[in-house]
């Protein structure tokens, strides 16, 4: 990379001449003919060159070999094009990168696992702080575990499960611990042990001014990071979590129903709603309608209960088939849900939090009609509740939606070059988003963002938004850390 220093120097100079960095060096717009501005420009380039040589961070531009690899994200549909990638080694490197972005007046986005639906972990023409080298796991006393933000969920499970411990987290193997935790983080174990962010007890955090903070449990920043931390105030360089004993088994029951029309889909959904919220805390269930085909998944990891049997008994006569399995190897069981691991084209988004079927009854027929008539359009509802809704977690986190029993989402997938299919999906997607919005279903999950959400601030953060804005003002007044839906001070 160092042999490309001349190219890099040219690129940095172009950025500065394009207007970045002027305020820091306190001069008027630099032009080729202005000797003072030219001298100041050279000074900023010298500073950046110096930083390139430290051990804490390496700056890459698209002239560098590794750039494309580091700029690759899970969602190929939302690919962006940053000017500089800062590949950091540690919290000091993050701090240096933030200061240099400020010097260049570049916005900063933060990448851990790169699974943001809208690619809020990248930008066009700005700096991306790439945390991929911060992916280590370290055990502390009392079964606490310190995890780097770019550790992927499968790497986390690979380390914790053989030690007979679990951290409640998501199911997809290549999602990063960083983004998942900072937006909430739910999965199979959340109704028993809370969201991933509810298990966060300490963190190392670099704010938008480059200052490094060691956060303990009751720090206001830790409150903010538990659900409101995605690319808003600064960069987390490590998380400390409590862990829980691994369960003895992980079992599922899976129902299938095919060739559904709107009426049958509605009956199935209403039945599922009626029984699913009664499930004990060790259970999770998802209602997944893909065009005319339905899958209902129910998992549990403790003793079978009457509430679980009630849901199974209610669904059995109205579905086409049912399978179930008990697995005592938890690692093997979770691997079944790791999903696709390489980048794909898709549009996914939260489709509202609900408490009962009545919350959606005003629009659900139109929603289901659209889904059953559009093969490949997926409407999914997941159970929440249990420990997620405990008031104890509520007061300690900015995650705003503790009162709901269900979270729904929309998904569509296509292949490269299928532009007509994509455009059709996007049209139907927006149509359904509008139906829910007009029906009053406006609370949305931060980790399932959509650029199309109206009033996204209250949708994600509810009543916590003003407090989050005050924290933004305190730790990133210049709005250096930002993306399209980051908290505004
Ligand atoms: C296939 C798939 C499956 C999923 N399954 C689940 C699931 O089961 N449960 C669930 O809750 N969610 C799930 N999600 C959503 C997932 O939680 C979010 O997409 C999450 O934000 C991704 O985190 P990441 O680190 O991989 O992404 P990134 O794109 O790297 O980051 C996402 C956001 O967090 C910010 N961020 C990341 N790291 C830091 C940091 N260290 N400091 C400050 N800001 C940071 C980024 O700036 C960006 O705004 C899934 C997503 C996908 C694509």
Domain chopping of the chain, boundaries: 2-130, 137-245+463-475, 250-454
Is residue 207 within 8 A of residue 222, CB to CB? The reply is no
Residues flanking ligand 1, CB < 6 Å: 74, 109-117, 120-121, 131, 149, 170-172, 175-176, 178-180, 182-187, 229-231, 235-236, 339, 447, 483
The rounded distance, in Å, linking the Cα atoms of 427 and 395 is 39
Substitution site in 72, 97, 180 for ligand 1 pocket (most atoms within 8 Å of beta carbon): 180
* Strand, coil or helix: 49: helix
The rounded distance, in Å, linking the Cα atoms of 305 and 192 is 15
* pLDDT computed for residue 29 by the predictor: 38
- Give the residue, by CA position, lying nearest to ligand 1 atom 21: 179
Is residue 95 within 8 A of residue 70, CB to CB? The reply is no
Question: Which of the four CATH numbers 3.40.462.20, 3.40.50.740, 3.40.50.150, 3.90.1150.10 does domain 250-454 have?
Answer: 3.40.462.20
- Give the residue, by CA position, lying nearest to ligand 1 atom 11: 185
Is residue 430 within 8 A of residue 258, CB to CB? The reply is no
Ligand 1 center to 471 CA (angstroms): 21
User: Residue 59's beta-bridge partner residues?
Assistant: 86
Question: pLDDT tens digits, the chain, 489 residues: what are they?
Answer: 434 455 555 555 555 555 444 333 222 334 445 665 566 666 666 666 555 556 899 999 999 999 999 999 999 999 999 999 999 999 999 999 999 999 999 999 999 999 999 999 999 999 999 999 999 999 999 999 999 999 999 999 999 999 999 999 999 999 999 999 999 999 999 999 999 999 999 999 999 999 999 999 989 999 999 999 999 999 999 999 999 999 999 999 999 999 999 999 999 999 999 999 999 999 999 999 999 999 999 999 999 999 999 999 999 999 999 999 999 999 999 999 999 999 999 999 999 999 999 999 999 999 999 999 999 999 999 999 999 999 999 999 999 999 999 999 999 999 999 999 999 999 999 999 999 999 999 999 999 999 999 999 999 999 999 999 999 999 999 999 999 999 998
Ligand 1 center to 446 CA (angstroms): 9
Q: What is the DSSP string of 300-360?
A: ESS---HHHHHHHHHHGGGSSEEEEEEES-HHHHHHTT----S-BEEEEEEEEEESSGGGG
* pLDDT computed for residue 19 by the predictor: 47
Question: Which of the four CATH numbers 3.90.1490.10, 2.40.30.10, 1.10.3720.10, 3.30.465.10 does domain 137-245+463-475 have?
Answer: 3.30.465.10
Ligand 1 center to 317 CA (angstroms): 38
- 22 alpha carbon, distance to own chain's centre: 34
State the pTM of this model: 0.91
Ligand 1 center to 11 CA (angstroms): 30
Q: What are phi and psi of 282, to 5 degrees?
A: -80, -5
Sheet bearing 137-139, strands edge to edge? 137-139, 145-147, 234-241, 200-207, 212-215
The rounded distance, in Å, linking the Cα atoms of 336 and 64 is 37
Ligand 1 center to 142 CA (angstroms): 27
Ligand 1 center to 121 CA (angstroms): 9
> Cα dihedral sign for 173, 178, 183, 185?
positive
* pLDDT computed for residue 17 by the predictor: 52
Q: Which CATH architecture has domain 2-130?
A: 2-Layer Sandwich (3.30)
Burial 24-61 (b: 16+ CB within 10 A, else e): bbebeebeeeeeebbebbeebbebbeebbeeebbbbbb
The rounded distance, in Å, linking the Cα atoms of 442 and 466 is 18
For the chain, what is the radius of gyration of the CA atoms?
Answer: 24
Residue in 170, 116, 140, 346 with CA at minimum distance from that of residue 239: 140
Per the document, the length of the chain is 489
On the question of a common fold for 2-130 and 250-454, the answer reads no
The rounded distance, in Å, linking the Cα atoms of 253 and 378 is 20
The rounded distance, in Å, linking the Cα atoms of 278 and 280 is 6
The rounded distance, in Å, linking the Cα atoms of 133 and 150 is 7
């Amino acid at each position: 990379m160092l042999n490309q220093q001349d190219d890099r120097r040219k690129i940095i100079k172009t950025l500065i001449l394009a207007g970045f960095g002027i305020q820091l060096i306190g001069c008027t717009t630099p032009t080729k003919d202005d000797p003072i501005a030219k001298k100041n420009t050279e000074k900023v380039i010298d500073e950046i060159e110096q930083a390139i040589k430290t051990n804490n961070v390496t700056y890459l531009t698209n002239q560098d070999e590794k750039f494309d690899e580091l700029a690759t994200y899970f969602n190929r549909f939302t690919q962006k094009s940053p000017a500089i990638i800062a590949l950091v080694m540690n919290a000091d490197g993050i701090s240096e990168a933030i200061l240099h972005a400020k010097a260049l007046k570049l916005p900063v986005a933060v990448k851990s696992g790169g699974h943001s639906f809208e690619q809020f972990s990248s930008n066009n023409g700005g700096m991306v702080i790439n945390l991929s080298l911060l992916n280590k796991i370290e055990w502390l006393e009392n079964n606490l575990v310190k995890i780097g933000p770019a550790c992927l969920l499968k790497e986390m499970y690979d380390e914790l499960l053989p030690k007979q411990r679990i951290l409640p987290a998501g199911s997809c193997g290549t999602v990063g611990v960083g983004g998942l935790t900072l937006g909430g983080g739910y999965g199979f174990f959340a109704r028993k042990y809370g969201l991933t962010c509810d298990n966060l007890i300490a963190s190392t955090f670099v704010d938008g001014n480059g200052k490094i903070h060691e956060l303990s449990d009751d720090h206001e920043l830790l409150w903010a990071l538990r659900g409101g931390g995605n690319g808003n105030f600064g960069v987390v360089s490590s998380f400390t979590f409590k862990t829980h004993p691994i369960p003895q088994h992980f079992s599922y029951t899976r129902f299938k129903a095919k060739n559904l029309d709107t009426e049958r889909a509605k009956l199935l959904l209403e039945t599922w709603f009626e029984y699913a919220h009664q499930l004990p805390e060790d259970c999770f269930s998802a209602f997944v309608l893909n065009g005319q085909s339905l899958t209902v998944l129910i998992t549990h990891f403790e003793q079978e209960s009457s509430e679980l049997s009630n849901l199974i008994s209610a669904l059995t006569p109205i579905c086409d088939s049912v399978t179930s399995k008990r697995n005592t190897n938890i690692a093997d069981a979770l691997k079944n849900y790791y999903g696709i691991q390489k980048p794909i084209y898709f549009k996914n988004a939260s489709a509202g939090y609900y408490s009962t079927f009545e919350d959606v009854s005003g629009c659900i027929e139109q929603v289901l009609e659209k889904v059953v008539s559009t093969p490949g359009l997926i409407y999914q509802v997941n159970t929440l509740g249990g420990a997620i809704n405990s008031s104890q977690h509520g007061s300690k986190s900015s995650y705003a939606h503790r009162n709901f029993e269900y979270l729904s989402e929309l998904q569509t997938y296509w292949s490269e070059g299928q532009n007509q299919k994509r455009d059709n999906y996007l049209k139907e997607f927006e149509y359904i988003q509008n139906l829910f919005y007009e029906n009053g279903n406006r609370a949305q999950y931060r980790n399932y963002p959509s650029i199309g959400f109206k009033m996204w601030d209250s949708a994600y953060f509810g009543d916590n938004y003003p407090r989050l804005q005050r924290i933004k003002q305190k730790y990133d007044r210049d709005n250096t850390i930002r993306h399209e839906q980051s908290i505004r001070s």
